[in-house]
Structure 1
Amino acid sequence: MDTRTGRSTGVTPLPTTRAAKPAPHERRPTRRSRLIHRALRFGVYPVMHRVPGHAGSLRTARSTVEAAALLLPGDARVRVRPVRDPGVESGGAPLEGEWVVARSAPDGPARGAILYLHGGGYVVCSPRTHRPITARLAHDTGLPVLVPRYRLAPEHPFPAPLEDAVAAYRWLLDRGVPPSGIVIAGDSAGGHLAAALTAEIVRTGLPNPAGTVLFSPWVDLSCELSVRAQLDARDPYISATAARRVARLVVGSAGFDDPRLALLAAPWTGAPPVLIQVGGAEVLRPEAEALAAAITRAGGRCDLQVWNGQMHVFQMLNRVTREASTAMRETARFVREVTAAPPRPKKKTTAVA
């Protein structure tokens, strides 16, 4: 049939093969996502690239970020409870942070939990600044989310944050949360901390968690991979040059010699399943790919999702862009799979983006 005239051509059309539907992270970025990317590239990146690497400026940045976090709208689907445990009764380390719980979650002992370690270059941010992610995790998975307020550099260089992360994991275990129901998660520097905690658990023989989720992890604090990638990447937010300046404060006088910093050289044999989500446009992408390869070489499972055209920790925009919302649903699917949790009942929601 000639589609222009409607007449038969006498030719039998060949059968067509339907193209495979691309995975969510492989799809073309939406217009909204591209606009945000462009605005950050020209409005935020120049500032981030010139962040000075000294304590005074970072303390000012810390106060500014915390003030901005107060303006973030709350999520009515969750409850946020402060956690302050001096550790006197249990004989453990003190813990401060917050407990984010879905309002629809049943009462009673937790069958599992997500231990979330926030990003911020190890120098800024807090549990409050990352509520857009932690609230969404709690709502989508039905699991409570523990977000510790770990110590920050330069006042408390590495390994102080790792010590606090280990204490938070032990806190969950001491309260009867089964390790088979715990997922460790984190973004950016918190992604490095989540991976370092996972490696430390394997190394010290603590019970393995069910899995680990890393959003845009800062894998290599020496920044060798990201500085090389900066020449070609169009990262709208993260500057590898600035990250290297900050990293010197994070490691302190001990430098980069602590083996717990070197995630690519960690013995990943016996590690739990890992999900890594990284933006295709970000300068940390080569680091995430290298970590996924290291885990796979050690015989572990690592699901690497490179989200086409997305920026650093784009999951923070899960109430703004379709890609971020979909990425959080993919994360919830992974969490349910590794914890063998039943899927949450579907509810009618307003589409985003």
Structure 2
Amino acid sequence: MDIDEILDSAANTSTMPGVGDAEVTDDELAMARKMGHLVFGNLAVHKGFPATLPSDDPQYLPEIGSYRVFEYLMPATQQPYQVSGDDFTQSRLTALYSQDRAGQLPGEHSTVVAVSATVSSAIDALDDKPMHDNERIAIYVPGGGFISCDSPEMRLSYIRMSQEMRMRVFVPRYHVAPAHVYPRPVHDVYTAYQHLESQGFRPENIIMVGASAGANICLAVLQLLAAEGKSQRIAGCVIAEPCLDLTMSHDSWQRNQHVCILPYVPTTSPWSLPRFYLGPVDDGVNPIELLRRPMLSPISADVSVLPPLQIQIGCDDSLYDESVAFAKRIPSAELITYEGINHYTMFRGRTQLDRFYGNLRRFADKVTTA
């Protein structure tokens, strides 16, 4: 399998992340690692992914499930941000809020709602309103290294998640680098949460799920909700292969380079993923110090404000050590580790998908109301 074949596999359900049941071959894993090191290790030439990949929007059969993309405005009830002890983030979020409130923020707010055919309802399941008073939903924040997010090829995985969790899945479409830098993705996901709550969804029936960079954004949103006293009202949060320390200071970044698709590019380089996400900063400002702040590196966040938490991580992942260190700070957190799994194989193959979704479903059932 060459790099072009791996790229083509994005539309192949046998190997699609989060969907396909085909087990991962050694050749596929080696080529995926090569592709990951090429893409993420050479951001100097990265111009940004298009809003959607150059393909037709897939149409799934009713017996599989369906999805809808809908646009919305920032809720009128959404209040200005309050970020304690972080003037840098406060300033950027205030600017985004003001632009959004004035209708001058580039790009729209949009969300994908996905539903499996196994989740039936007499009313429109593709709406953004509760189907009944006590409906459970998942808000899924996908990863992509802060440089990609939702695409049509990914949406079958949202339907698979809906099937496995037995609930509708809402996926905020956040804007990505290099055109949109921190904290624009945080603002987008936070606004999506506020929109869904304004539509009538109850926090105690919401599970937030974040993968990789999406887990980082998810935890930043929970910190913002904590400032409003809302974060612990959410039923729970699951973070998979989470990006928790943007200083990249943990040993597994070096130790797992030979097996993981994420390359180690130190944050002293402006072309490292964290610096790419952070974006330009003023002269005299130390970007490394900014990357240590809790909204960017949740490993240092106040964990007392978090809802019930499950962490899933592969032992061969470059992000393994920071996940373990984060879990040690939260005695109540459930840490699930997988031997031989890295950042590519977390969501591939029947064996691993059964484990991932099984643990996700069990946690969701435990922390939400029936």
TM above 0.5, yes or no, is yes
3-state SS of 2:265 partner: helix
How many aligned positions are there? 299
Correspondence for 2:263 among 216, 222, 239? 239
Going from structure 1 to structure 2, the CA distance change for 1:196 and 1:44 (only over 3 Å counts) comes to same
Equivalent residue letter for 2:278: V
- Of 181-190 and 125-134, more deviation after overlay is shown by 125-134
Per the alignment, residue 280 of structure 2 pairs with: 253
Return the index of the structure with the highest Cα Rg. Answer: 1
**Counterparts in 2 of 1:129-148, with a 5 A limit?**
129-148=153-172
TM-score (norm 1): 0.75
Shift, 1:125, TM fit: 3.1
CA-to-partner distance for each residue in 1:4-41, whole Å, 9 max, x for gaps?
A: xxxxxxxxxxxxxxxxxxxxxxxxxxxx75x53x2244
Query: What pairs up with 1:1-353 in 2 under 5 angstroms?
Result: 33=23, 35-36=24-25, 38-51=26-39, 52-54=41-43, 56-59=45-48, 62-63=49-50, 66-67=53-54, 76-87=63-74, 95-105=109-119, 106=121, 107=123, 108-109=131-132, 111-206=135-230, 208-225=233-250, 229-232=253-256, 234-241=258-265, 245-254=272-281, 255-256=287-288, 257=290, 258-296=293-331, 301-312=332-343, 314-317=345-348, 320-341=349-370
Query: Which runs of 5 or more residues in structure 2 are unaligned?
Result: 1-21, 80-99, 101-107, 124-130, 282-286
Higher mean alpha-carbon deviation, 262-271 vs 90-99, is at 90-99
Do 1:179 and 1:209's aligned partners in 2 also have CA atoms closer than 8 Å?
yes
Identity %: 22
Take 2:205 and 2:337, find their aligned partners in 1: how far apart are those partners? Answer: 26
**Residues in 1 aligned to 2:56 and 2:322: alpha-carbon distance in whole angstroms:** 28
Q: Secondary structure at the match of 1:224?
A: coil
Report if aligned partners of 1:173, 1:179 keep a CA contact under 8 Å in 2. yes
Please tell me the residue identity of whatever aligns with 2:274: A
Write out per-residue CA displacement over residues 143-188 of structure 1, whole angstroms, 9 at most, x where no aligned residue: 2111111111111111111111110111111011000000111111
Instruction: Mark the runs of 5 or more structure 1 residues left unpaired by the alignment.
Output: 1-31, 342-353
1:210, distance to aligned residue in structure 2 (A): 0.5
The whole-number CA distance in structure 2 between the counterparts of 1:84 and 1:65 is 15
TM-score, scaled to structure 2: 0.72
Distance (Å, rounded) in 1 between the aligned partners of 2:340 and 2:59 = 25
- Give the SS at the match of 2:140: strand
Distance 1:56 1:273 in 2: 40
| Alpha-carbon separation, structure 1, partners of 2:369 and 2:327 | 23
Counterpart residue identity of residue 274, structure 1: L
- Matches of 1:173 and 1:64, distance apart in 2: 26
Change (3 A) 1:331 1:218: same
Secondary structure of the structure 2 residue equivalent to 1:176:
coil
Instruction: Give the Å deviation of 1:193.
Output: 1.1
CA RMSD of aligned residues (A): 3.0
- Cα distance 1:308–1:204, how it changes in 2: closer, same or farther (>3 A)? same
Task: Give 2:91's aligned residue.
Answer: none
Structure 2 vs 1, CA of residues 126 and 215 (structure 1 numbering), >3 Å: closer, same or farther? same
